[in-house]
């Protein structure tokens, strides 16, 4: 994977070349973690492009920015991603007379654009964010993959378009200030770390949505959705459906095992990571190679772990079963110090450019750094729960019938500690409900579906468009901060397009979460793994962690420049943190309960400090 950056202006003839090239160099420098292996720049006709490279495929070639000429016009690309059907695309473009000179997918994508224009987006399968300077049509073409696995942010300042893989890169251009307005505050206190597609906490910095493309030319920016989930009648029999789901999963995983630098897998002993591990292990063994696997846990979790609806069992026993079955080279990463987990909250904010999932982020960051010591590519099981219905809100009646985001408590502890006058000013609850209704309204539905089927489809669409986006951002930002590429095979549009339209009675086959998926992979895994209840990414269960983050939050609240005091009712906050600790009921998703709320507040304070954010209301 890589990092991209650029400044484009088709109108102003007075731009100083050296000045704007330096701006792009400053932007690109902030992306060095995303691409530590090389950097490159392009400067021509007020087009300033920058690139940082993490070498995965064809390390000797594929340097960027990459330029190819066709019919007297130049086309230059900066690209962050991986294509999983490169050979298929290469064969097609070669049939049109194009000749590829190297093995990297960057050249395949660029030649594909020259050959097919924007229609190349309908052909490629992968995760990507890229920009192409098209000299013939005097425009810059930008696009992001179907579900937004790879990030792409932009801002418009005067007649210039600024874009980059991270928000900090846009700020590094010094062409836009770090500010937060009413919308940003509403996002921060009603939804964050869940976010509304297309916007960020920073005023005037936006993101290209998953499945969205854009063209910037003399007349300005034009955006267009090139991909969206659609509702279609499902006509396959149950038997054929199960067979096809298995084939789609296996093919997607196999297609993502291509790497010139080796790869490993995350292994929790859960269904999703175990499927990836089983298939990857079998493929490597064909070449007499052994798969390496990694898992994470926390010191004292064996002592403090308690079963709950959201975390029914611990991982360790199931990991051992998988390691023994597939004889992988396995490493356990035991995160010990509560203080290091708390201290890493700061770097997690910097990695994400926003307050996030607190220690759920920071522990993943530390985990990815550990993996990076030996590998540059890993595969992980994100997105299977949203696509195959693994969460409690797909089967628990009170969550199904909830008239709000099923993964957010509408009247949660985060809202309960805000000052009344601040609530009156930004109306966070009303904002969250508006965003909920907007997403609900966009859900693809069929007219002849039952009310329950429609409701479950709405829940699935909410999960894909909101909850999954948060997890994908978390995985990308934490892993790339460690210069580790993490691939997510379940987030494949061929899988999503097919599974979305399967009846929920089949998706929840035998009354089980991910029932269809379990049936489809029978025989690939030990039975105890296939039947294991859904258990999410682990977090520390040690109550001492709560004391650590409370102490740090109190320290910050005493500082004169602490922004939190402008938003929080300190009396309510101190009452909350002094009351008996209840870690069993999360306020967001399955993992964020009271310790994570306190850590999240620390991250909010750190975000204002790191970026020197100005509040503009």
Which residues are part of the catalytic machinery? 2
Q: What is the residue-wise DSSP string for 18-70?
A: HHHHHHHHHHHHTTTTT-BSEEEEEEETTEEEEEEE---S-TTS--SSEEEEE
Tokens of 405: 């985001």
Q: Is 89 helix (H, G, I), strand (E, B) or coil?
A: helix
The Cα 357–Cα 362 span in angstroms is 8
The Cα 549–Cα 252 span in angstroms is 41
Beta bridge partners of 87: none
- Residues contacting residue 534 through CB under 8 Å, at least 6 positions apart: 270, 271, 312, 385, 390, 391, 513, 514
Tokens of 31: 């992306």
Q: Output the CA–CA distances (angstroms, integers) from residue 601 to 51, 237, 325, 567, in the order listed.
A: 34, 50, 43, 11
CA dihedral 5, 364, 394, 523 (to 10 degrees): 110
Tokens of 595: 């310790």
- Residues contacting residue 219 through CB under 8 Å, at least 6 positions apart: none
The Cα 536–Cα 590 span in angstroms is 7
The Cα 366–Cα 380 span in angstroms is 16
The Cα 340–Cα 585 span in angstroms is 25
The Cα 125–Cα 27 span in angstroms is 29
Q: Shortest CA distance to 384 belongs to which of 322, 261, 475?
A: 475
């Amino acid at each position: 994977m890589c990092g991209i950056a650029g400044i484009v202006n088709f109108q102003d003839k007075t731009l100083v070349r050296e000045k704007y090239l330096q701006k792009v160099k400053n932007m690109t420098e902030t992306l060095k973690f995303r691409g530590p292996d090389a950097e490159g720049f392009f400067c021509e006709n007020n087009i300033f492009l920058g690139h940082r490279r993490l070498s995965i495929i064809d390390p000797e070639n594929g340097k960027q920015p990459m330029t190819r000429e066709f019919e007297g016009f130049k086309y230059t690309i900066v690209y962050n991603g991986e294509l999983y059907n490169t050979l298929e695309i290469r064969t097609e473009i070669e049939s049109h007379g194009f000749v590829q000179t190297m093995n990297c997918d960057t050249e395949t994508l660029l030649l594909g654009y020259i050959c097919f224009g924007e229609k190349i987006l309908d052909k490629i399968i992968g995760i990507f964010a890229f920009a192409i300077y098209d000299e013939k049509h005097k425009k810059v073409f930008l696009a992001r993959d179907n579900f937004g696995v790879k990030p792409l942010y932009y801002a418009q300042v005067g007649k210039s378009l600024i874009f980059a893989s991270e928000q900090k890169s846009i700020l590094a251009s010094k062409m836009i200030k770090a500010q937060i307005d009413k919308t940003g505050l509403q996002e921060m206190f009603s939804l964050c770390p869940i976010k509304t597609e297309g916007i960020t906490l920073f005023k005037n910095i936006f993101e290209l949505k998953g499945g969205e493309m854009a063209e910037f030319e003399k007349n300005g920016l034009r955006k267009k959705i090139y991909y969206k989930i659609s509702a279609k009648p499902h006509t396959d029999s149950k038997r054929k459906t199960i067979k096809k789901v298995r084939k789609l999963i296996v093919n997607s995983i196999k297609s993502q095992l291509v790497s010139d630098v080796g790869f490993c897998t995350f292994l929790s002993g859960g269904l999703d990571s175990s499927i990836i591990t089983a298939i990857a292990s079998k493929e490597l063994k064909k070449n007499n190679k052994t798969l390496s696997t990694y898992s994470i846990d926390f010191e004292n979790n064996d002592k403090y772990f308690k079963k709950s609806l959201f975390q029914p069992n611990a991982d360790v026993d199931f990991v051992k079963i998988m390691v023994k079955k597939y004889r992988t080279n396995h490493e356990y990463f035991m995160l010990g110090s509560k203080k290091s987990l708390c201290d890493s909250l700061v770097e997690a904010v910097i990695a994400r450019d926003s307050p996030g999932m607190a220690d759920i982020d920071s522990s993943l960051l530390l985990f990815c750094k550990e993996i990076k010591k030996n590998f540059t590519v890993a595969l992980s099981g994100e997105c299977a729960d949203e696509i195959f219905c693994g969460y409690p809100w797909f089967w628990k009646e009170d969550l199904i019938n909830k008239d709000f985001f099923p993964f957010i408590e509408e009247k949660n502890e985060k809202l309960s500690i805000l000052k009344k006058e601040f609530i009156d000013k930004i109306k966070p609850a009303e904002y969250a409900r508006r965003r909920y209704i907007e997403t609900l309204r966009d859900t693809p539905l069929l007219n002849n579906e039952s009310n329950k089927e429609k409701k479950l489809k709405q829940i699935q669409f909410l999960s894909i468009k909101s909850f999954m986006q948060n997890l994908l951002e978390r995985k990308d930002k934490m892993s790339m901060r460690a210069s580790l590429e993490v691939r997510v095979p379940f987030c494949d549009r061929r899988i999503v397009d097919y599974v979305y339209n399967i009846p929920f009675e089949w998706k929840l086959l035998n009354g089980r979460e991910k029932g269809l998926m379990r049936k489809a992979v029978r025989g690939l895994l030990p039975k105890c793994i296939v039947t294991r209840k859904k258990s999410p990414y682990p977090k520390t269960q040690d109550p001492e962690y709560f004391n650590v983050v409370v102490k740090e939050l109190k320290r910050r609240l005493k500082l004169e420049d602490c922004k939190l005091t402008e938003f929080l009712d300190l009396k309510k906050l101190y009452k909350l943190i002094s009351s008996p600790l209840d870690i069993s009921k999360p306020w967001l998703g399955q993992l964020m309960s009271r310790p994570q709320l306190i850590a999240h507040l620390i991250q909010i304070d750190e975000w204002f400090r790191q970026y020197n954010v100005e509040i503009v209301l």
